[in-house]
Structure 1
Amino acid sequence: MLWRALTSRLFPWFTLLALVGSLLLALHHARSELIQSRVALSLAQRQLSHTQQSLRQTAQLDTRYTRELNHARETIDTLERDVAVGRQRLRLNATCLRASGAATRVDDGASPRLTDAAERDYFRLRTAIAVVTRQLGGLQEYVRRECPVTSQKEQ
């Protein structure tokens, strides 16, 4: 009887104590999840910031090399137009071969000249060289910036 009276009086207190303990345990669990979430958020924000910075640098790199490439193309196009109208000349290291057994004539001393097709091919080649040079330079700089160098020990 004493036991019954004691338990009937203390039961609400044990229940309250168990409820408070459960709430404290749930609060502790929620707090540790909040801390983990904040750490993950901080890491994600740093990664996003790094990615955005990398994208900005890549865009600047692309803009710079595109500008250089366009300038090279304009220079080659200007040279090609100047050669076509006679303002500039292409220098060749060539000699004119005389027909064998033919007598020397006045026009044998004419300077050698490229054919129109060879001249177009020359300017196409210069343009292609300029494009590849700028592209390669841009790629090399991109690799230097974006790809970390590994030490010999890691390999």
Structure 2
Amino acid sequence: MLRDCWFPLVMVLVAWTYFDLIEGQRDTARSERDIAQLEVTGLREAARISGEMLADRDENDRTRTEALNHALSENNDLRRAVDDGRQRLRVKATCSSPKPDQTGSGGVADAAPPELTADARSDYFILRDQLALSREMILGLQDHVRRICLR
């Protein structure tokens, strides 16, 4: 009779141990699931922020490129107008008083206003293009820092 009691008691103990083990595995799996869900939420937020930052960067680049192209176009229009003679590049300058020569002829009354030479003109337009490029690069970097880096 005592033998008949031990077998069910051992079976209940084995079943209880097995269920306890399964319950522990279930709790571990739930904990790992919750951690994974938190990671997924964090990664989605990071992807959203990265997407916004990339969109801001692309918008900044597009805006600055358009402004640079506009400035370069204006410079090219001015260059063509100067080359065609429709506009002139004037230099703010004064002419020194001429020394009267012995014959009494000569003076600056008939002289044209000071103007850049052809070589200096090309340098002038190169400098204008470089200035426009530098300006847009600086403004673009400032916008990048304000809109993306300081976020």
TM-score (norm 2): 0.88
Where has structure 1 moved over 6 Å in runs of 4 or more?
Answer: none
Q: How many residues align?
A: 148
CA deviation profile, 1:36-71 (whole Å, cap 9, x unmatched): 000010000000000001100110010000000000
Name which of structure 1's ranges 131-140 and 110-119 shifts more when overlaid on structure 2.
110-119
> Counterpart amino acid of 2:11?
P
Q: Give the whole-Å Cα distance in 2 for the aligned partners of 1:112 and 1:141.
A: 41
TM-superposed deviation, 1:130? 0.7
CA deviation profile, 1:13-51 (whole Å, cap 9, x unmatched): 111111111111100000010000000100000000000
CA deviation profile, 1:103-145 (whole Å, cap 9, x unmatched): 3158852332221110000011111111101110111011011
> Counterpart amino acid of 2:32?
E
Structure 1 spans left out of the alignment, 5+ residues? 150-155
Q: Give the whole-Å Cα distance in 2 for the aligned partners of 1:44 and 1:94.
A: 65
1:112 aligns with 2:111: no
* From 133, 136, 146, the counterpart of 1:134: 136
Q: Give the whole-Å Cα distance in 1 for the aligned partners of 2:109 and 2:65.
A: 47
> 1:78 is matched with which residue?
77
Structure 2 spans left out of the alignment, 5+ residues? none
Root mean square deviation of aligned Cα: 2.0
The structure whose RCO (Cα within 8 Å, separation 6+) is larger is 2
Q: Give the whole-Å Cα distance in 2 for the aligned partners of 1:106 and 1:65.
A: 47
> Counterpart amino acid of 1:82?
A
Q: Give the whole-Å Cα distance in 2 for the aligned partners of 1:109 and 1:148.
A: 58
TM-score (norm 1): 0.86
Q: Give the whole-Å Cα distance in 1 for the aligned partners of 2:124 and 2:35.
A: 64
**Between the two proteins, what is the percent identity of the paired residues?**
32
